[in-house]
Chain A
Amino acid sequence: QQQVKQSPQSLIVQKGGISIINCAYENTAFDYFPWYQQFPGKGPALLIAIRPDVSEKKEGRFTISFNKSAKQFSLHIMDSQPGDSATYFCAASTQGGSEKLVFGKGTKLTVNP
């Protein structure tokens, strides 16, 4: 069964610290790996995404690191802020598109002031 395993389930970080969320996958056909941010009562919003031809992608304070051989990818949030407190989901799909995304179970991030 296609699966994406995400850890940790919850994470508490102090303001200014680095938040790190990890995901692992089994299906080597996955070729698109987005991260979504979800606030309570809202739908997920795309944060950043990576394809397997690069090992790292950075957008502002958010960085995805991708390790194809280990079938793992992670999200790093630098200089974490209280406004980053949300649930983060990693996802994966095949054929390079957003169709039929397989999501991890989510990480609830709390950034303390």
Chain B
Amino acid sequence: NAGVMQNPRHLVRRRGQEARLRCSPMKGHSHVYWYRQLPEEGLKFMVYLQKENIIDESGMPKERFSAEFPKEGPSILRIQQVVRGDSAAYFCASSPPSRESPLHFGNGTRLTVT
């Protein structure tokens, strides 16, 4: 049973370019979460999605960041016009519909903005 799959594992972008991070949840999981981890910091919640719905995006920066979880295909975290401060590890997690189910994290995408 495959876990949460994130790709790419490493992504290098120049300032001003766009970054697209993909996440395929575990089989049977319909809830997806994105977290960001800065060096020497804990994970910070960004957004919580269900299929075709954004449930909570209170942790998303107001500009340049967007997320989607379409009916078919992976969840996408999109960062437009990246800046150096966007360099971080971005983790996706998934869970089944039960609210008491634990999160299962992927191995992350490490974004470096040069």
| A-to-B contact residues, CB < 8 Å | 4, 6, 34, 36, 41-46, 49, 89, 91, 95-106
Contacts and interface: CB of A to CB of B under 8 A. Distances in A.
B49 to A, nearest CB: 11
A53 to B, nearest CB: 13
Interface string B42-68: 111100100000011011000000000
A105 B105 CA distance: 17
Contacts of A43: 4, 91, 93, 105-108
Nearest to B41: A105
Given A43-B107, A99-B56, A105 B102 contact: no
A92 B91 CA distance: 17
Nearest to A89: B42
Nearest to A103: B42
A46 B100 CA distance: 13
Contacts, number: 64
B1 interface: no
B105 A44 contact: yes
A98 B42 contact: no
The 9 A-B pairs at the shortest CB distance, nearest first, are namely: A43-B105, A103-B42, A97-B99, A46-B102, A103-B43, A98-B103, A105-B42, A43-B107, A44-B105
B33 A99 contact: yes
Contact of B45 (A6, A44, A49, A102): A102
B40 interface: yes
Nearest to B6: A43
Contacts of B104: 46
B87 interface: no
Given A43-B4, A43-B91, A44-B91, A101 B103 contact: yes
A89 B43 contact: yes
A85 B71 CA distance: 40
Contacts of B44: 103
A96 B99 contact: yes
Contact of A100 (B42, B45, B101): B45
